[in-house]
Structure 1
């Protein structure tokens, strides 16, 4: 069975849970990674918005 990158259970837009399902990680870890990217690098928000637009819903 092939994996497909789709939005998951929504907390805000479902991007983090979709990525966590695809890579078989804990959604909390992915959310923390986006928060760190936002605070330290400034790219987390831009990446999140792009993925929210591009990723299809379930």
Structure 2
């Protein structure tokens, strides 16, 4: 994490998954839209936030 936070060549990179200092595709499960929606709903409820489109 320190490398990713401090590497000058990665200063414009965000929202990427890294493994061993290299960008990688995250697990297949992380792209599941139903899981994403459920996680957002639960998180919003627990924090008092609502989703805005």
Please state which band the TM-score falls in when normalised by the shorter chain.
Answer: 0.3 to 0.5
Q: TM-score, normalised by structure 2?
A: 0.36
Q: TM-score, normalised by structure 1?
A: 0.34
Larger gyration radius, structure 1 or structure 2: 2
Structure with the higher helix share, 1 or 2? 1
